[in-house]
Amino acid sequence: MAHTYSADGTSIGYQRLSDEGPALVLVGGGLDDGTENRPLGEHLAENFAVVNYRRRGRGDSGDGRPYAIDREVEDLAAVIDAAGGRAHVFGASTGGALALEAAAAGLAVDRIAVHEVPYQVDTSMIAAWRAYRVELDAALDAGDRDQALRLFMRLAGSTDEAIAGAEAAPVWPALRALAPTLRYDAACLGDGPPPEDRLARVRQPVLLTTGIAVDPPMAGLPADFFAAAADAAASALPNARRDTLPVEGHVADPAVLGPILSAFFAGR
């Protein structure tokens, strides 16, 4: 475990999973304290110098205020500096949106891969997203972290039964601790649709992967939700490649996604 410091002085925790090969930084998604990407990082560590970090407000990373997506871009810049000054980047879910925003901002990024970035492309989903942001702000402003989590799970397609089960599970207190960062992930996605003007600035090769369909916890979403989002983002990127995994899974199976990423980051 180690720490670096962002431009605003916020301490950002990270872990080196290996030291050999080109640098590769992993960016986590919503309600992730860096744990979800670790198995994938361990797989990729065979060929890359992998750095897995905790985004601000998560785990042992600080949470400098006021929040702005520019601060998260600066956090990633600090991690890349700690990794050696340049790096490939992989972003999961909303972490993929952050990775693309960082590349558009001119960070020292080589190749970029993102998995299932939840951009909104359907009119009804865009409306639901914008309503969620208003309701999320209200819940967090009122200090109601439980409601913030319920709103997020409902937006992600969870049933009321699944939400009740999650509230009764041992993991719920850990999720409550991360609930304020839902606002940060919302900022990374902005108004919902892919930000075409900023994506057009990303000249690096970008790989966008999705599962074959949404996985069961997200059964309330359209079956092609992530695929449609990835296709829309790919059309706005100058140098994009699309790949569909032969399995479902918003948290991708490292044994399936790992070899694809290894080949891509190696330039194959």
Q: Is the peptide bond before 118 cis (omega within 30 degrees of 0)?
A: no
Task: For residue range 49-102, list pLDDT tens digits in order.
Answer: 999 999 999 999 999 989 999 999 999 999 999 999 999 999 999 999 999 999
Residue 268, pLDDT > 90, answer no
Same-domain status, 88 and 217? yes
Same-domain status, 117 and 241? yes
Tokens of 81: 């500096």
Same-domain status, 221 and 108? yes
SS3 201: coil
End residue of a domain, out of 185, 210, 234: 185
Instruction: Express as a percent the part of the chain with pLDDT over 70.
Output: 100
End residue of a domain, out of 185, 210, 227: 185
Same-domain status, 155 and 44? no
Residue 204, pLDDT > 90, answer yes
Contact 193, 232 (CB under 8 A): yes
Q: What whole-number distance in Å separates Cα of residue 18 and Cα of residue 215? A: 31
- Per-residue confidence (pLDDT) for residue 30, from 0 to 100: 96
pTM, two decimals, is 0.97
Same-domain status, 158 and 204? no
Same-domain status, 112 and 178? no
Q: Which of 84, 80, 131, 83 is nearest to 106 (CA)?
A: 80
Domain residue limits at 158: 123-185
- Per-residue confidence (pLDDT) for residue 265, from 0 to 100: 98
In b/e form, how buried is each residue of 215-245, taking b as 16+ CB within 10 angstroms? beebeebbeebbbbbbbbbbebbeebeeeeb
End residue of a domain, out of 166, 185, 204: 185
Task: For residue range 93-152, list pLDDT tens digits in order.
Answer: 999 999 999 999 999 999 999 999 999 999 999 999 999 999 999 999 999 999 999 999
Same-domain status, 252 and 228? yes
Task: For residue range 231-255, list pLDDT tens digits in order.
Answer: 999 999 999 999 999 999 899 999 9
Same-domain status, 129 and 115? no
DSSP state of 191: T
Same-domain status, 102 and 63? yes
Same-domain status, 43 and 116? yes
Task: Assign residue 260 the CATH number of its domain.
Answer: 3.40.50.1820
Number of structural domains, the chain? 2
Averaged pLDDT of the chain: 96
Task: For residue range 205-231, list pLDDT tens digits in order.
Answer: 999 999 999 988 888 899 899 999 999
Same-domain status, 154 and 207? no
Same-domain status, 33 and 111? yes
